[in-house]
Amino acid sequence: MATQNAITLFSSESTTKYIKDIFSVLALPRDAEYQFRYETKYVESSVRSCVFSSGNCSGTMALVAFRSTNTESLDKRFIIPIRWVEIIDVIYVADFYTIKFRVKCYPSFSNDFKEKCHAFNDINTITKNILIDGTTNDLAVLNSVLPIVGDHKDDINRDNEYWRNIVDLFSILPMYESHYFLRCSPFVFANNKPCYFENNFTTLEEEKCVYLKIDYFQRKYDPIHDSKIDVILDNNIISHSSGLRTKMETRYDSIKLGFQPKNTMHGTQSEIIICTSNSTNKKQTEISLPIKIVKRNSLRIVKAIVMSIGACLVGLPALLPDTFEITWKILIAVFGAGVMGLNNFFDSTEK
C-alpha cells in the first residue's frame, strides 16, 4: 500500500503519558488497540476537514512517530518512525480529538534515511528539513507521511528486523541508551497456532495453556539498575507458570511466558499487564493485554472417548480366541489405529 493517503500521528517525551504512549505502541502485539488524544489546534486543518470530518475515516492508515521536544532548539530535535496503525474511529469532544487505532507492522526506513540514520547529527539534519516550517513544527497530526519511511508493506517476516532498526535508532538518544525496549508477539497455543483475537480481546479456554513471546533490546547494557519484566494479573482467574518477574540479564534476548486460565472462569474478562521495571522502581514500559475466558472445548471430551475406543480396537485382537479369523483381527486393529491417527491429526490442527 502506498503512503500518499496516510497521515502522521506524533507523540513526544514532553509528558510521562506521551512517552508511555510511544513505548506501548512500540511493544504491543499486532492488531492490539490503542488511542491518542490531541487538542484541535495541533491537528492540521486539512486532516480535520478532509479526513476526520468525513465520518468514514475507519481504515485510514497512519504512521505513529516520536518527536523530541525537550528543547526549543532545532539543533537538538529528533524524529523516529515507530509503527503503522489503522484508524478505527475518531471521536471529537470539547475541542479534543480521540483517535482510536489498531497497531500493525513496523515501518521500513526510506533508502535516504537508512543511509544517514547512524549518527545524531545526520538525523537532526533530516529532522530540521521536515520541521523547518514553524507551523509544521507545532502540529502533532499531519496530513502526510514523513519522507523517512518506505511504503507501507505488511511483511510479518521482517517485523523483528524493522523493530530492531527502530529501537537501535531510539537508543542513539543518550537518555534511552540504557532503556529496555519490548516487543510482544500475539498469544499462541503449544503448537504455535495463534489464539482467537477479536475486538481487542484474546480468547482463552479454561485450563488450556497459552504462551506469550517477548523480545527485549538494550543498546548499552546497564547491570546496575537490575531491570526486570514484570507480569501483573488476577491470580484468581489465570495462573502464570513462568513466575511473575523475569530478570533481563543480557542486552538482547527473548522470553516465553506461559499462562493457564483456571477452571470455571468462563465468561470472565480480565487483562494481563506486562511492564519493565528496575531498581529505581520506575516503570519504563507498560502494556495491557485484554483477555476473555471461554468454556473448555467440549470436543476434547469427545476426542478423548474416540482415542479410547481406537486404543481398545487396537488391543482387542489379542483378546479374541485363536479360532477367530486372522483377517478380521487385522482389520479391527488397522481400523483402531486409523481412528487414533485421525484423532491425533485433528488434535494437532486444533487452535
Q: Is the pLDDT of residue 298 over 60?
A: no
Q: Which residue has the cell 512517530?
A: 65
Q: Which helix (H) or strand (E) holds 160?
A: helix 159-170
Give the residues across from 141 on adjacent strands. Answer: 9, 43
Other CB atoms within a 10 A radius of the CB of residue 269 amount to 10
Which pLDDT band holds residue 3 (cuts at 50, 70, 90)?
low
Q: Is the pLDDT of residue 83 over 90?
A: yes
Mean local confidence (pLDDT), 311-329? 75
Q: Which of residues 227 and 56 earns the better pLDDT score?
A: 227
Q: Which of residues 251 and 105 earns the better pLDDT score?
A: 105
Supply the pTM of this predicted model.
0.80
Q: Is the pLDDT of residue 171 over 50?
A: yes
pLDDT tens-place string over residues 213-246: 999 998 887 766 678 888 999 988 998 876 667 8
Q: Is there a contact between 254 and 213 (Cβ–Cβ < 8 Å)?
A: yes
Q: Is there a contact between 2 and 152 (Cβ–Cβ < 8 Å)?
A: yes
Least confident of 70-79, 87-96, 187-196, 341-350: 341-350
Q: Which helix (H) or strand (E) holds 96?
A: strand 96-103
**In this predicted structure, what is the pLDDT of residue 225?**
66
The domain limits of the chain are 1-177, 178-296, 299-349
Q: Is the pLDDT of residue 309 over 50?
A: yes
Sign for the CA dihedral angle at 29, 33, 39, 45 comes to positive
Give the C-alpha separation, 203 to 205, whole Å: 7
Give the residues across from 149 on adjacent strands. Answer: 109
pLDDT > 90 in the chain, percent: 30
**In this predicted structure, what is the pLDDT of residue 4?**
64
Q: Is there a contact between 165 and 171 (Cβ–Cβ < 8 Å)?
A: no
- CATH class of the region 178-296: mainly beta
- Across the chain, mean pLDDT equals 83
Q: Which of residues 295 and 216 earns the better pLDDT score?
A: 216
**In this predicted structure, what is the pLDDT of residue 297?**
65
Q: Is there a contact between 152 and 113 (Cβ–Cβ < 8 Å)?
A: no
Mean local confidence (pLDDT), 125-150? 79
**In this predicted structure, what is the pLDDT of residue 263?**
82
**In this predicted structure, what is the pLDDT of residue 327?**
80
Of 78, 93, 98, which Cα lies nearest the Cα of 141? 98
